[in-house]
Structure 1
Amino acid sequence: MEEAFNRLAEIVAHAAGRAWAFALCLVSVTLWAVTGPVFHFSETWQLIINTGTTIVTFLMVFLIQNTQNRDGAAIQAKLDELIRSGRAK
């Protein structure tokens, strides 16, 4: 299960860092803002953006943590190798 999560996290992190992902978010927020007058800036209209951004933020926290954990492990492995190679001389 962890391998599947790592693979999914890698794919999503790569996609989330692309320009089209930012553009998609920007278009979504713009469309939401434009529809405000249509829905009379109702509580439901506000709830849509609040719920959407909360869910995305919640999921991205785990994605970012996974990426940082893997990056930290890779850096640690490289540092360990440098230390070992320095001692051998």
Structure 2
Amino acid sequence: MFEKTFTNVANGVAYRSGLPTTFILCVALVVVWAVSGPIFGFSDTWQLVINTGTTIVTFLMVFLIQNTQNRDGAAMQAKLDELIRVTEAQNHFIGIEHLTETEVEEIRDKCEKAVKRHAMESASRQGRQNAEAQAAQELKKSFGKTAPANARKSSPAKSGRTSAKAGGAVR
């Protein structure tokens, strides 16, 4: 019961504290305080009012905002875990938010290395595909629009040599 009430209050305060109206009200309060300085003779009590008020509000807001951020972070993590679980992603990433900073950095380094390795493999694969496509174009030019059946099955890029029929020498 208390937890639900606290959650509702924390959500409401966190939401309202981020509104432009709240900011304008706070600025207006500071302006009223500053303008009232001459009335109170810029006394120690006058200064103590703003210092005490801002300290109390800041102290309470830290806990309310931290509570809201903790819940938002946990909810986001649960959603990401569910996406990882239902896709082809690696399930061992579920729960890594509970690891130490060093362990998370190690996982991040492994992921970055995997991305670089994948990019290199992808570029190599793309290069092979481009070479195969270029060889197929050359075959089409040599034989017209229809290449012989055996030329279609084994392209020069795959076999590593050029067909004598295609106008090149066998290596």
TM-score when normalising by structure 2: 0.50
- Any gaps of 5 or more consecutive residues in structure 1? none
State the Cα deviation string for residues 29-79 of structure 1 (Å, max 9, x = none).
000000111111100000000000001000100111111111111111111
Runs of 5+ unmatched residues, structure 2: 90-171
Task: Tell me the SS of whatever aligns to 1:37.
Answer: coil
The sequence identity of aligned pairs, in percent, is 66
**1:71 match:** 72
Residue of structure 1 in register with 2:19 after alignment: 18
Q: What residue is the counterpart of 2:36 in the other structure?
A: 35
TM-score (norm 1): 0.93
Runs of 4+ in 1 over 6 A off after TM superposition: none
Larger Rg: 2
2:3 corresponding residue in structure 1: 2
Secondary structure, in 3 states, of the residue corresponding to 2:87? helix
What letter matches 2:53 in structure 1? G
Separation (CA, whole Å) in 2 of partners of 1:7 and 1:67: 10
What is the number of equivalent residue pairs in this alignment? 88
Root-mean-square deviation (CA), in Å?
1.2
CA-CA distance at 1:87 after TM superposition: 4.2
**Residues of 2 paired with 1:64 and 1:10: CA distance?**
8
Q: Note the alpha carbon deviations across 1:6-46, whole angstroms, 9 max, x for none.
A: 00111111111111111110000000000111111100000
